[in-house]
């Protein structure tokens, strides 16, 4: 530090080269930075625990502990899969709040196999016939317990859509500019045996008053889609979709004790 006197005997102070702040100032700055880092760490931990903890600063209640335990079980179950996909965790969360009550298929003609990439759930194998009517056969089993009534189910779907065209015409894709014409052509294709699709599922679930869950599995993803018609119940009929073919989806807790011996399946 350089001190210089002016002609009027005033004192001017100039910082010297290599000047450093006093030690106590550096300590204060260091302490302030340390407190800021500790504050940010504490805030991040609170964010991990959830917004309720951040706002209240209170310990978790029994209810929140139960939610955390359930969350942990879902995570463990998802990661227990031998073919784990990140999307399987989301699918487990989707299914965790529902009951799959798919009617049991006839034991003589159905083979039930656990889904290897989705522990806790099983599917029929080779039960729903692969003739282009598999979605309608699946709904025939849901509604009537007999997949051979698929032609009746297809007709009932077409009739239901015809009674409520405004609910469906905007969902139909096609080259026609008029939605009414697109819907008309869609129904004509369905009458001629076209494969079922998302519109078919929507129509049949509404027509029969059934909550439906579709678990679709590909080589790289697992996706669970809910079609909710009756919010007063947690019961859902389950369909399993893989390689453009539908089978029945079963929750292991609801598989009958006398069901055929199961074997692992992809």
Q: What is the pLDDT of residues 157-199, one digit of tens each?
A: 999 999 999 999 999 998 888 999 999 999 999 999 999 999 9
> What pLDDT is stored for residue 27 in this prediction?
64
Distance CA 78, CA 118 (A): 7
The full set of domains in the chain, from first to last, is: 2-56 (no CATH), 78-254 (3.90.70.80)
Question: Residue 135's pLDDT is what?
Answer: 99
pLDDT tens digits for range 231-263: 999 999 999 999 999 999 999 864 444 344 444
If 0-12 CB within 10 Å is exposed, 13-18 middle and 19+ buried, where does residue 213 land? Answer: buried
* Under-50 pLDDT residues of the chain: 2-3, 5-19, 46-68, 70-86, 254-266
Q: Is 92 exposed, middle or buried (0-12, 13-18, 19+ CB in 10 A)?
A: buried
Please report the pLDDT score of residue 43 as a whole number. Answer: 61
- Look at residue 109 in the predicted model and tell me its pLDDT: 78
Long-range residue pairs from 187-192, CB within 8 A, at least 24 positions apart, any chain: 187/158, 187/161, 187/162, 190/154, 190/157, 190/158, 191/154, 191/158
- pLDDT score, position 87: 62
pLDDT number for residue 177: 86
pLDDT score, position 42: 61
Residue 220: predicted pLDDT: 78
State the DSSP string of 122-184.
EEEES-S--SS-HHHHHHHHHHHS-GGGHHHHHHHHHHHHHH-GGGTGGG---S-SSHHHHHH
pTM recorded for the entire structure: 0.65
Q: Are 251 and 242 in contact (CB under 8 A)?
A: no
CA–CA separation, 161 and 194 (whole Å): 15
Name every residue whose Cβ is closer than 8 Å to that of residue 21 and which is 6 or more positions away in sequence: none
What is residue 34's predicted lDDT score, i.e. its pLDDT?
72
Length of the chain in terms of residues written: 266
């Amino acid at each position: 530090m350089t001190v210089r006197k002016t002609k009027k005997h005033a004192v001017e102070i100039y910082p010297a080269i290599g000047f450093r702040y006093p030690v106590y100032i550096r300590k204060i700055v260091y302490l302030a930075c340390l407190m800021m880092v500790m504050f940010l760490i504490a805030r991040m931990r609170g964010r991990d625990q959830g917004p309720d903890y951040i706002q209240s600063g209170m310990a978790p209640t029994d209810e929140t502990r139960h939610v955390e335990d359930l969350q942990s079980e879902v995570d463990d179950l998802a990661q227990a899969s031998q073919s784990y996909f990140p999307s399987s965790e989301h699918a487990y969360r989707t299914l965790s709040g529902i009951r799959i009550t798919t009617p049991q298929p006839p034991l003589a003609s159905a083979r039930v196999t656990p889904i290897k990439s989705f522990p806790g759930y099983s599917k029929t194998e080779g039960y729903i016939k692969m003739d282009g009517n598999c979605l309608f056969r699946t709904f025939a089993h849901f509604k009537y317990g007999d997949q051979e009534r698929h032609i009746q189910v297809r007709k009932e779907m077409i009739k239901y859509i015809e009674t409520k065209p405004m609910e469906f015409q905007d969902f139909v894709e096609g080259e026609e500019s008029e939605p009414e014409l697109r819907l008309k052509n869609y129904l004509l294709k369905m009458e001629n045996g076209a494969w079922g699709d998302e519109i078919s599922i929507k129509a049949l679930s509404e027509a029969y008053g059934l909550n439906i869950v579709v678990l679709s599995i590909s080589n790289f993803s697992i996706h669970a889609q809910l079609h909710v018609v009756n919010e007063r119940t947690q019961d859902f009929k389950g369909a399993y979709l893989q390689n453009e073919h539908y089978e029945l989806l079963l929750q292991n807790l609801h598989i009958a004790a006398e069901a055929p011996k199961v074997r692992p399946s992809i």
